[in-house]
Amino acid sequence: MSVPPRTLRTVIALAAASVLLAAGVVAPAAASTQPAPAPAAAGIPNLGPNVIVFDPSMPVADIEARANAIADAQVDAEMGSARWSLLFLPGTYGSAGDPLQIRVGYYTEVAGLGESPSDVVVRGKIESYNRCLAPDNCIALNTFWRTLSNLTLEIDGTGQDGCRASANFWAVSQAVSVRRVQVRGAVPFSLMDYCTAGPQYASGGYIADSRLGAVVNGSQQQWLTRNSSVGSWSNGVWNQVFSGVEGAPSEAGFPNPPYTTLDRTPVSREKPYLHVDDRGRWFVRIPSAQRDSRGVSWANGETPGRDVPLRDFYLARPGDSVLKMSLALALGKNLLLTPGVYDAPASILVARAGAVVLGLGHATLTAVRGSIPLVVADRPGIVVAGVTIDAGTSTSPVLLQVGSPFGRSRGATTDPITLSDVYFRVGGPHVGKTDTALRIDANGVLVDHTWVWRADHGVEGFTAGVNGDTDRWRTNIGRTGVLVTGNDVTATGLFVEHFQRQNVRWEGERGRVVMFQNELPYDPPTQADWTQPDGTLGWPGYTVAANVKDHQLWGGGVYVFNQNNPSITTANGFSVPDAPGVRLRHIMTVNLGAGTIENVVNGTGGRADTSTIGVPRFVADYPAP
């Protein structure tokens, strides 16, 4: 795949503008500077109408009313355009006699503004429940796009009756993160909602940099917990991965239970976060990259890293042009995307070492006229976090380009380019078209939690009735989910689903992936549509190129549900070269009710078909020791 000349010219032009601005050839006045908005309240910057800042002096009832009104509006807004960020200034909220109880819906971020998670204490609960698609069909399989971070929950079950008093429920699936959260109290943190009607399925998820007590995994099919501590972990369904986690369960006996445990995380960097100091000044903390790390980053005080004053960020609003944002970055600003949906008819170019692009409230970039919405140059220390990128109705070559496909990477690995909670969507609210969602050509990149999704359901382009899936296959185009050509790329939490050819193709050397989850596409109309040019039946969910000599994966799953044509067959869930340095640990395939995967990896591991619905085929190690 190559970038079309028209798109390449756009990228080069933006890069040239950056150079001219830096050199003073173009006057800085050429950039349209953003007028300073009036503050929302004393000492609080104006971050737009969809950022709500709470302080401890507010009555609990008022906070609950505001937060839960947003949750009620978002409970079924899976394909909506509203985006929300609910921020809590340092202090204590709620009490034993009057606990704070709030719920979190779609496209909502709840975060504390302290320097430490202990600076914001919520005595009560912050919860996500199953979504009931019908009275007898309550599930968390589609409770996507929500975030909880940087605070302490003190939970004891008071303030709720019956089943709801038994846990803090966080029933979620993909594109959901829990970061920098401390949970105290006798009530467990449950990753499933067992209080609603069945079937109560869940398919998440991600926890990082958090200190939890008892965790009820329940019905969660897969989960990654990274650089955290847990008091206990109740069970596992298919694929539960722990990396650098104090108190993690042993992987002995795999696959019963199906735990994969790494003592330390090979490469990590925590996601940037907003915080307010004791003088009321606003900063964004940019954590440093770590190697071979374990436990929370804040165990011994402030998370290692650097503070960037909020004044050093361009505060973008929906409607701002991508040129304005690129020029602000070129002039030395960082970029903060306030909640909303941003049309991107051209590329936002991030070309300066150490630049930060941070989205609040699941801020979303949408490709327009086949654009590449975001281009990250091969410069050390660039961080992109909290951003969702949607394909548009015209085919984009790529949705996020990291490094150049035309030149050799600089390969800076001590301060890696980092993508944290960066999500991709092809279809859903509208028809989406892209050749590749995420392409990484730079060396030493860190991908810290991503969901790359070609939608299996949505509003437009998903015609109901007998031909619905066939129509989706022809109109909702996503050929490749993730393509990696760079060397020394690490991914912690790689979720990629439903692409029409390669879900993941890895061509670079020394790739490291901690936890991979995939569903093959639901909707190929015929076997011919799902057959490679060489006659191989289907495409694996995870492919490492034949010439790669060194690659490792810990904890991976490929699922099949060919609901459009249950006769369709895929030869292998995983395909890798037989080389001494290529090793896969704890991988599996599973049938969810339709279609067949003949083998787990390279012709071995057994068949996942409708005779074994929901029963995984595991391979503990490939190649076998």
Q: Which of 251, 270, 497, 519 is catalytic?
A: 519
Phi, psi at 499, each rounded to 5°: -75, 155
Q: Which residues contact 591 (CB under 8 A, 6 or more apart)?
A: 559, 560, 561, 597, 608, 609, 610, 612, 613, 614, 615
Angle of the 5-23 helix axis to the 322-330 helix axis, nearest 10: 40
CA max distance for the chain: 69
DSSP conformation class of 246: B
Distance between CA atoms of residues 600 and 466, nearest Å: 31
The yes-or-no answer on residue 519 being catalytic is yes
Angle, alpha carbons 16-388-181 (nearest 5°): 120
User: Nearest CA to 241 among 221, 261, 212?
Assistant: 261
Distance between CA atoms of residues 413 and 487, nearest Å: 10
Name the one residue in this structure whose structure tokens are 């969660």. 220
Between the CA atoms of 495, 500, 506 and 507, what dihedral angle is there, to the nearest 10 degrees?
A: -160
Asked if 358 contacts 284 with a C-beta cutoff of 8 angstroms, the reply is yes
Q: What is the DSSP track for 510-573?
A: SEEEEEEEEE--S--SSTGGGB-TTS-BS--SEEE-TT--EEEEEEEEEEEE--S-TT-EEEEE
Distance between CA atoms of residues 145 and 109, nearest Å: 9
Asked if 585 contacts 600 with a C-beta cutoff of 8 angstroms, the reply is no
Name the one residue in this structure whose structure tokens are 């019956």. 162
User: Nearest CA to 213 among 182, 244, 237, 235?
Assistant: 182
- Burial bucket for residue 468 (CB in 10 Å: 0-12, 13-18, 19+): middle
DSSP conformation class of 500: S
Q: Which amino acid is at 386?
A: G
Q: Which residues are catalytic?
A: 519
